[in-house]
Amino acid sequence: MATTSMGNASFSADESRILFHSNESGIFNAYVMPVTGGKPQPLTQSKTDTTFSVSFFPDDDRILYMRDQGGNENNHLYVRELAGAERDLTPGEKLKASFMGWKPDGSAFYVRTNERDPKAFDLYRYDAKTYARTMLFKNEGAFELGPVSRDEKWVALDKPNTTIDSNIHLYDVAKDEIRHITPHQGNVKHDTQTFDPDSSRLFFLADDGGEFTSVRTYDLATGAVRVHEKSNWDVAFTYFSRDGRYRVTGVNEDGRTAVRVVEGLDEKPVTLTGIPQGEIRSVTFSRTGSRMAFYVNGDRSPSDLYVYDLRARKAKRLTQALSRDIDPADLVDTQVVRFKSFDGMVIPSIYYKPLTATPQNRVPAVLLVHGGPGGQSTRGYSSLAQFLANHGYAVLAINNRGSSGYGKTFFAADDRKHGREPLWDCIEAKTFLASLGHVDPARIGIMG
C-alpha cells in the first residue's frame, strides 16, 4: 500500500509557512510549505540519515531538526541557519539527544542528552541566539525528564517502578532539591504532563480511585492535589499551547483518541467544524493563536496535515498521504467488535470486513495480535490490514486481556498468565470469526 508517512508541525514566525517531516523521498526529511497549500519544499535532502523536523525558531526562519547517522537511531539536534548552513548542537559519539521544548518567550530551548552517562539523560538549557548551554538538571536518580515550568523554577520528573506503578518528583532549580509529590499505597500510575501558564500548578495523569487515568493538578505552593478532568476512558495526554491560551486533551475512547480543545481560564470548549471523520493528532498552534495545525488519520486514509483558521473556522488540507493510485472507496472502515472469551471476559477488537464478504461468499480471515506487555490495537489507518482486506481477508485485530486502554482490571488480567489466558482469548477469537457467517471457518490464520 503506497503511502507517505509524515509528522510534526511547526508554524513559521510570520505564520505563513509550516514545517513538517515526510518520507516522500524514501527516507524522512524536513519540508516546508505555505499554510495556504502548495508543493512542499525540502529543507534537508539526506539519502542515508533519518531527519525529523522539530520547530521553527519563534522569531526567525531558523529551524531545529533531529538526525541520526546512517540509521543508527542515535539522534542529534541540529540547527539550520538562515543561509542554509547546518550545525550539530549536540556533537559527540554514541550519544542520543532529544528536544524538550521552548521557553515560552522564545529566548531559550531545552534539550536532553545522555553524553555524561549512557544510562541517564541530563537536561540542558540552550540560548536561542548564541546556542550557549547550561545544565539545568543533572540526572543521577534514573528519572525520566518531564516538562519545565514557564518560570524555569521547576523541572517535573517521572520515576517508574513497574508498568502499573510510578511516582512524580519535582526538582527545585534554585535550591537544587528534589521533592517527592505522589506518596501512595499500592500500585498507582502517575505521568507528568505540563505546568499551567502561570507556573502555579503541575498537571499530571493518575489512575488511583478508578479504572482509568484522569487529569490531576498539584498546587506548587500548597501541595494540594485535585482532579481537574476525567472521563470514562483513559486520558492519554494534556498540554497547553505555547502562549497558554489553549489546552489540548486526548482521551483514548474505545480504540480511537478523541481530542478536546478548550480556551481560557474558564476552559470554553473550542468547536472544530469542517474536519473529515477520523482521529485528530499532533495539535499545535501558531504564535498568535489564530491558526492550529494537526493531522487527521482515518480508517481509509493515513495521516494528512491540516491547518485550521480559528477565526474563519475553516480547515485546509495540505497533504495527500494516500497514493493517488488507491481509491479510498476500495478500502474499508473499521468496526469495534466484542466477544466473550472462555471465562466470560469480554474481549474488544478492531474488525476489518472485506467489501466482498457475504454469507454467499465466505472469506478467509487473519487474527492480528499486537505486541506487549500492554499495547493496544486501535482504529485508524493500517496499511497491512487494508492490504489484507483488499485482497479478500477479514482481519480481526484483537485486544486480548492484558491490553492497554480498557481499564486497570483488564490490563492486569494476564498477570503471571502470559502465553496462557491471552492465547485462549485468541482461540476464542477464531470461534467468534467463524460465527459471523461471512468467514470461512476452515481458513482462519493468525499473525503478529
Strands 154-162 and 144-148 turn out to be antiparallel
- C-alpha span between 398 and 409 (Å, rounded): 17
Q: What is the pLDDT of residue 25?
A: 94
Q: What one-character DSSP code corresponds to residue 270?
A: P
C-alpha dist (Å) from residue 55 to 7, 111, 126, 206, 429: 12, 13, 14, 30, 45
CB 1 within 8 A of CB 383: yes
Query: Residue 410 is inside which H or E element, if any?
Result: helix 408-411
For residues 68 and 56, give the distance between their C-alpha atoms in angstroms, rounded to a whole number. Answer: 19
In sequence order, what are the residues at sequence separation of 6 or more whose Cβ sits closer than 8 angstroms to the Cβ of residue 427?
A: 342
pLDDT band at residue 382 using 50, 70 and 90 as cut-offs: very high
Q: Which of 250, 262, 137, 150 is nearest to 191 (CA)?
A: 250
- Angle, CA of 295, 297 and 303, to the nearest 5°: 60
What's the CATH fold of domain 332-447?
A: Rossmann fold (3.40.50)
Give the domain ranges of the chain: 6-317, 332-447
For residue 116, what pLDDT is reported?
A: 97
pLDDT value, residue 1: 58
Cell digits of residue 10? 511547526
The three grid cell numbers given for residue 180, joined into one nine-digit string: 517527592
> What does the pLDDT look like over 321-334, one tens digit per residue?
999 999 999 999 99
* Rounded Cα–Cα distance for residues 97 and 74 (Å): 7
Contact 277, 263 (CB under 8 A): no
Q: What is the per-residue pLDDT across 268-307, written as a single tens digit (0 to 9) for each? A: 999 999 999 999 999 999 999 999 999 999 999 999 999 9
- Contacts of residue 266, Cβ cutoff 8 Å, sequence gap at least 6: none
CATH 2.70.70.10 fits 6-317, yes or no: no
pLDDT for 419 beyond 90:
no
pLDDT digits (tens, 9 = 90+) for 232-279: 999 999 999 999 999 999 999 999 999 999 999 899 999 999 999 999
Check: CB of residue 428 under 8 Å from CB of residue 385.
Answer: no
Assess contact for 242 and 285: CB atoms under 8 A.
yes
Question: Whole-number mean pLDDT of the chain?
Answer: 97
pLDDT tens, residue by residue, 171-211: 999 999 999 999 999 999 999 999 999 999 999 999 998 99
Instruction: Please tell me whether the overall predicted TM-score, pTM, comes out greater than 0.85 for this model.
Output: yes
The whole-angstrom separation of Cα 238 and Cα 203 is 8
Using DSSP bridges, classify how beta strands 177-180 and 51-56 pair: parallel, antiparallel or unpaired. unpaired
Label residue 372 by pLDDT band (50, 70, 90): confident
The cell for 2 is 503506497
- pLDDT band for 2, please (50, 70, 90 cuts): confident
User: pLDDT tier at 418 (50, 70, 90 boundaries)?
Assistant: confident
